[in-house]
Structure 1
Amino acid sequence: MSNSLQTELAKHKGVEIHGNSLRITFMWRRMRCRETLGLPVTKANIRHAAQLRAAVLHDIKMGTFDYARHFPESKHAANFSSARNERLKSLAERYQALKAVDITPDTESRYATALNVCLELLGPERLASVLLPEDIQKLRVDLIEERATSTVNHYLAAFAGFLAWCESNGYSRAGLAAACSRFEMSDREPDPLTQEEFDALIAKGCLHQVDSAAITLAVYTGLRPGELCALACEDIDLEAGTLQVQRAITSRGTFKLPKTGKPRTVMLFPPAVEACRTLVQLATERKRLDVTVHLTRHETRTDTITPLLTPGTLARKKKVNPWFVPTAWNTKWAAIQKRAEIRPRRPYQTRHTYACWCLTARGNLAFISKQMGHKDFTMLVDVYAKWMDDESPNELQHIWRGIQNQKRKAPILPHKNSDIALSS
């Protein structure tokens, strides 16, 4: 080989001579790969081989390298490229279609958002087979930079499900889903309203009786915001002093079952009964509407109901949504708090207020849990332990008084030995 060819070859790393032909070398999946190009050794071919190798390295770096596309005649292509070497975007589309049959359209939309964000950060055209746990760890870093921890954990949970599906079907290596570990979150303690703050909300924050009635109902029932906004006049029984929680409304304006998937009956405190009475009276001229409640992905029911709360009561616009959605309720709640000049809280704190007020009044745990729609009262113990502990200094005396009352009411039963003595 002439000196000029040797000089040209020395300029290009990874290009070498193999027999009478040029060959390129590169690292792929942590293995050294060599591919003979079948090109004679000339300056032009050496430069062409260098360009080909650069293109290969670029695709490897971007995660889009397809061995069979670059080297269709290679005997190694079958080892590295197959039907399983598919791109993340196409796999995600198939996964979402399969996942959709088990979830509601609203949940499907949230899943799609989470997957799309993760795919954009990883690269939607990357091959699933080349992903490493390190890539997922880098994804976690990128996600947490500009997002709330709760949001990131939702994204990671959704993406972990997708990666587990990829692993089980052989599209990717094992261990990727496990790398989607969620970030630890500090437990947010409930921040209930004080009686003084509640009074300020009613007296200063609410400009109309519909607002004061709605806030009173929220605080004295502990309904979730979506449940409160989805209430209908038909759900209220003023004579019995109860209301039925049969549906909730989402931020997209669709109706679904309450969080536990089951309706529940809430027994009303006197302030809640009066609030309901006011709201029902204000709704007498409203039209009944047909709403579709999603029970499952494939099952719905139609409720013909009258909105108990509606933005149209105080709205300046002629055309408004007949139902409050949680985001609109958030806006109203924020304005009421601002006028009341109290520390701002999320609307969900009205639910916490109900729980804490009931617990500090020594309410029965099972009863409070049923009222709030919990599966059992362990949630109360976990979330509201502080409010239970606040009563612990007086709890012994409270229990002892109860025991003494039971003793006075219970009949005195003779002991078995006494029976024997009497009979003898």
Structure 2
Amino acid sequence: MGRERITGGLEAELAKHRGIEIHGGNLRIVFMWRRIRCRESLGLPVTKANIKHAALLRAAILHDIKTNTFEYGRHFPNSKHAGNYSSAKDERLGALVERYKPLKAVDITPETEDRYSRALNICVDLVGKDRLAGILLPEDIQALRAELIETRAPSTVNHYLATFAGFLAWCESNGYCMAGLAAACTRFAMSEKEPDPLTHEEFDQLIKKGCLHPQDRAAITLAVYTGLRPGELCALAVEDVDLSTGRINVTRAITAAGTFKVPKTGKQRTVLLMQPAIEACEVLMGIVAEHPKRLIRVYQNRHEWRDESVTPLLSPGTQARKRVINQWFVSTAWNTKWAAIQRRAGIRARRPYQTRHTYACWCLTARGNLAFIAKQMGHKDFTMLVEVYAKWMDDESPTELVRIWDGIRRLANAKINR
């Protein structure tokens, strides 16, 4: 490779300029960009004038590279390499992620910000803080996936990849890296775990044998008959309950760190209460009737929140023997209590979230309206119900035709008899 043999003054002229070669009888320029040796034929015959032109073009390219303004496609629009090289700015991942974090934090709560920050730091450390974003390839992201899954659970890896994909999408939109990197953050397929609802017999055992305190019996009854998420259940306040109309306003959830945020969907919702849930609320409200109100802060995101003065509906202080204790249950404390109740009841251990699945499955097997159940549970629509709880919907299918036919006959008879 290199210069082909030429004669006369052309060789002397060519010797004056570095990075100018002859290839296939035409001039070719050579330059380094992003640690890659680039060679581009100009399609010009070897003349003194063309050699000087090539030298000036190379000098312009080197200037653009030095000032971070070089665009491969602009200088070589017809090159087969133009689509392979990004016109991204030369920025290091470590610097970019520190710029991205405060911009992302505007839309999330402080605790979520911490989780995102940890995930981003891990991914950037594995890829390399000093790597230039503009030279990253989908292969680098695939290598990151492979390294993450070696020592972490698929659910954890998927969280990291989703967070990193958001960062890469921001880099793409701002021209710091080539397009397609965010799409390379493919999540790992996870085995779908079917809901494992309580049977009515198991629920009865929980209430009668597992619960030692009226607060526990009322809390589990409320969880099963409302389908609240555990974080929503533990964040309930007396002020959220309206016994006159049989409703609960779900306006907040509590995090593992004991901070408050808006519900998972970001929207408040109203849950209509069945009779067992109303009775459970009456018990819980009676237990905390003398408890003082607590000032809490509920975060919408890092920069938006509201302050509330409310009375915890479900408080560890009711049964606690210690002097210093949290006034609200957090996930770890509730998980511990739930596990002890199951153990005393002698039923198969489940996660606390299964009380939410129990509500959905009981409602579906009772032929509840899908749209109503989805609204009660805080879903956008009933698509998730169909996907997650199809088995419980199918359980009633043998009698469904009879029910529909009876309804049609009643409507027909009513119209005939008018």
Q: Which TM-score applies when normalising by structure 2?
A: 0.78
Q: CA deviation at 1:80?
A: 7.0
Shift of 1:33: 8.5
1:256 is aligned to 261
Q: Which runs of 5+ in 2 are unaligned?
A: 1-14, 17-31, 40-60, 70-88
- In 1, Cα distance between the equivalents of 2:169 and 2:243? 51
CA distance in 2: counterparts of 1:116 and 1:411, whole angstroms: 72
For residue 286 of structure 2, what is the aligned residue in structure 1?
A: 281
**Pair 1:129–1:77, CA change in 2 (3 A):** farther
Aligned to 2:382: 377
Matched, 1:323 2:328: yes
**In structure 2, what is the equivalent of residue 124 of structure 1?**
129
Shift of 1:146: 2.0
Q: Are the counterparts in 1 of residues 110 and 301 from structure 2 also a CA contact under 8 Å? A: no
Q: Which moved more, 1:120-129 or 1:381-390?
A: 120-129
Partner residue in 2 for 1:139: 144
Q: Which residue of 2 aligns with 1:67?
A: none
Shift of the 260–167 alpha-carbon distance from structure 1 to 2, 3 Å rule, reads closer
Query: Pick from 270, 281, 302: which aligns with 2:275?
Result: 270
SS class of match (2:306):
strand
State the alpha-carbon separation in 2 of the partners of residues 245 and 409 from structure 1: 41
CA positional deviation for 1:142 = 1.1
Q: 1:79 aligned to 2:93?
A: no
The whole-number CA distance in structure 2 between the counterparts of 1:161 and 1:384 is 31
> Which position in structure 2 is the counterpart of 1:105?
110
Cα separation, 2, equivalents of 1:340 and 1:180: 44
Normalising by structure 1, we get a TM-score of 0.77
Is it true that 1:400 corresponds to 2:386 in the alignment? no
Q: Matched residue of 2:270: which SS? A: strand
What is the letter of the counterpart of residue 388 of structure 2? V
Identity of aligned residues (%): 68
314-323 or 289-298: bigger deviation: 289-298
* CA 77–151 in structure 1, closer or farther in 2 if over 3 Å, else same: farther
- Residues 202-217 of structure 1 aligned to structure 2 (within 5 Å): 202-217=207-222
The equivalent of 1:336 in structure 2 is: 341
Residue identity matched to 2:101: Q
Equivalent residue number for residue 357 of structure 1: 362
Aligned length: 353
Instruction: Provide the rounded CA distance (Å) in 1 between the counterparts of 2:235 and 2:337.
Output: 16
Of 129-138 and 112-121, more deviation after overlay is shown by 129-138
Partner residue of 2:80?
none
TM superposition shift of 1:77: 8.5
| Alpha-carbon spacing, 1:121–1:398, altered in 2? closer, same or farther (3 Å) | same
Counterpart AA for 2:167: F
In the alignment, what sits opposite 1:228? 233
**Within 5 A, what are the aligned runs for 1:182-201?**
182-201=187-206
Structure 2: which amino acid aligns with 1:79?
Answer: I
Cα distance in 1, alignment partners of residues 248 and 179 from structure 2: 50
Q: How does 1:134-173 map to 2 (within 5 A)?
A: 134-173=139-178
TM-superposed CA distance for 1:396, in Å, is: 0.6
Match runs of 1:292-307 below 5 Å: 292-307=297-312
Partner amino acid, structure 2, of 1:267: L
Q: Is the 8 A contact 2:123 2:164 kept in 1?
A: yes
One-letter amino acid of the structure 2 residue matched with residue 326 of structure 1? S
What displacement does 1:286 show?
0.7
